[in-house]
């Protein structure tokens, strides 16, 4: 039972991170290499705020908002002028953001590891089906599920979601109709960046906070996005849970083969279903 809970919690953390990445790609066509660095920044900000104030919730909120605002600034002042240029320019620019954010984190928090305290309300464990389950793992699963439902509702049931879908499919027509397509694009990038900051803040009490945490996680994140189908939010949920379970079971029974199994799954998917395991031909985010 504990392996299943660990797998589900890992899957939900991957979903929080990968949903922002696939949202930005699906709506804007931008492959944001700096998404992992934004995740790292969210973890450091959450740790710092929680350490200063003693409030985990305040740390999560501040990390999400600040990273979201950083994403808005990135899109508005750096990415927007490059939309009409080859994707190579975007890749180089977002890679440059990784270096800038890493140096900024070094400047403010140094090179050493940080350990975010477990929030008192979510510490401890419960017994379930003969296994001892950390409460925080259950919180991550519930929080991720609530975030997934909220994201679906925002994209498919709200006016903002309708505008976002319209701007992603035909931005020129949206602009012609008098709607602010450029503002919608900026909002989408900021929202996706905010999800990266949120994922970092939620992950902070579970993992050591260090400069390489974004690089290590973003690889799994890209695998999830590819398996789920580029730009497919529903596919990201399924792929994130799949990768989470593969990693949890692999670490339990054959830890030396975890990466091999993960990349074998990725290669097999690219060879047989390059559009992704869960992609849908009609409806995509």
Which domains are seen in the chain, by residue range?
1-113+129-272 (1.10.3470)
Please give the Cα distance from 129 to 75 (Å, whole number).
48
Specify the pLDDT at position 35: 92
Task: Give the global pTM.
Answer: 0.89
User: From residue 73, how far is each of 49, 80, 108 by CA, in Å?
Assistant: 22, 10, 20
DSSP label of 174: H
Q: What angle do CA 154, 158, 162 make, to 5 degrees?
A: 100
The residue whose two tokens read 């066509």 is 29
pLDDT in tens, the chain (285 residues): 778 888 899 999 999 998 888 888 877 788 888 999 999 999 999 999 999 998 999 999 999 999 999 999 999 998 888 887 887 888 889 989 999 999 999 999 988 888 888 888 888 888 887 788 889 999 999 999 999 898 888 887 877 777 776 766 666 666 666 667 788 888 889 999 999 999 999 999 998 899 888 887 888 888 888 888 777 778 888 888 988 888 888 888 887 888 888 888 888 888 888 777 776 554 444
pLDDT at residue 71, as a whole number:
94
Cα–Cα distance for residue pair 25/48, rounded to 1 Å: 30
């Amino acid at each position: 039972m504990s392996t299943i809970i660990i797998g589900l919690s890992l899957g939900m953390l991957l979903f929080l991170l990968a949903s922002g990445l696939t949202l930005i790609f699906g709506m804007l066509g931008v492959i944001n290499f700096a998404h992992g660095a934004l995740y790292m920044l969210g973890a450091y900000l959450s740790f710092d705020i929680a350490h200063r104030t003693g409030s985990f919730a305040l740390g999560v909120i501040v990390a999400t908002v600040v990273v979201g605002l950083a994403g808005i600034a990135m899109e508005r002042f750096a990415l927007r002028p490059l939309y009409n240029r080859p994707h190579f320019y975007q890749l180089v620019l977002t890679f440059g953001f990784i270096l800038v954010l890493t140096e900024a984190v070094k400047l403010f928090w140094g090179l050493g590891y940080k350990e975010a305290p477990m929030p008192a309300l979510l510490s401890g464990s419960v017994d379930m089906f003969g296994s001892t389950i950390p409460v925080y793992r259950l919180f991550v699963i519930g929080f991720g599920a609530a975030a997934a439902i909220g994201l679906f509702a925002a994209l498919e049931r709200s006016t903002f979601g309708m505008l976002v879908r319209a701007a992603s499919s035909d931005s020129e027509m949206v602009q012609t109709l008098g709607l602010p397509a450029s503002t919608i694009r900026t909002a989408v990038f900021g929202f996706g960046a905010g999800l990266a900051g949120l994922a970092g803040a939620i992950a902070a009490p579970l993992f050591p906070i260090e400069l390489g945490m974004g690089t290590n996680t973003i690889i799994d994140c890209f695998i999830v996005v590819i398996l789920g189908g580029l730009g497919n939010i529903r596919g990201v949920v399924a792929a994130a849970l799949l990768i989470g379970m593969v990693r949890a079971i692999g670490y339990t029974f054959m830890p030396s083969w975890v990466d091999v199994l993960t990349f074998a799954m990725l290669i097999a998917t690219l060879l047989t279903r390059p559009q992704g395991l869960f992609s849908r031909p009609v409806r995509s985010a």
